[in-house]
Amino acid sequence: MTGLFQVVAIGILLFAPAGTFHYWQAWVFLSVFTVSAVLPSVYLQLTNPDVLERRMRSGPVAEGRSVQRFVMAVLYLSLAAMCVVSALDHRFGWSAVPTAVSWIGAALCAVGLGVMVMVAVQNRYASTTVQVQSDQQVVSHGLYGLVRHPMYTGNTIMLVGLPLALGSYWALIFIVSGLSVLAWRIRDEETMLREELAGYNEYTRKVRYRLVPSVW
């Protein structure tokens, strides 16, 4: 139900400001998002319903730490602003984004969402909120062998691709706020993990990069 609600909410944010349903870039993105939301939910319901339940608790209200509530609020607002500005851009023709660039953006969104799906499969402790579970252990295989926060790597790829996928250069402005709070979220989360998750400090010495290999 949460995934369906998200699809409907994004659809409203796109088509209402656009003033039309003749917005093929929005339909392509919604298709990519729907597949990435529905298929993992079905898979996790069959294989690991506990992970699915944790992933359904998301958003600022679900966070237990005040800094994370603020971070998630800004991140959600940045994503909403990307959708609305992109839709207005489509309506009033502010940008002239080539079709090929929009398809590249859609591919980036698919890759980013795909990375987030892989994280949910590879890490049974994966959650959309910052927390340490009582039986949690450090996961260091798969994508976690490349970066310490592959879920946020997927978020980053999608953030970069979303405005292009929706055919707007102006919406790229909101990448700055989105990535800024994402970096803040990572630093705060790592502070908690170092204090509460056994073995995490050793893991950080083996996997040096948080978000992007050889960069940060």
- Domain assignment present for 126: yes
- Domain assignment present for 42: yes
Quote the pLDDT of residue 91.
97
| Helix pair 174-196, 150-165: axis angle to 10 deg | 170
Q: What is the chain's alpha carbon radius of gyration, rounded to the nearest angstrom? A: 18
Residue 53, domain extent = 2-206
- Domain assignment present for 106: yes
Quote the pLDDT of residue 179.
93
- Domain assignment present for 214: no
Among candidate residues 45, 49, 51, 71, the one with its CA nearest the CA of residue 59: 71
- The CATH number of the domain holding residue 64 is 1.20.120.1630
Distance in angstroms (rounded) separating the CA atoms of residues 117 and 103: 21
- Domain assignment present for 14: yes
Residues 126, 184 contacting (CB under 8 angstroms): no
Q: Residue 7 is inside which H or E element, if any?
A: helix 2-18
- Domain assignment present for 119: yes
- Domain assignment present for 163: yes
Quote the pLDDT of residue 124.
73
Taking the chain (216 residues) in consecutive chunks of 10 residues, what is each chunk's mean pLDDT? 76 96 96 80 67 58 70 90 97 96 96 86 69 75 92 93 97 94 90 88 93 90
How many independent structural domains does the chain possess? 1
- Domain assignment present for 213: no
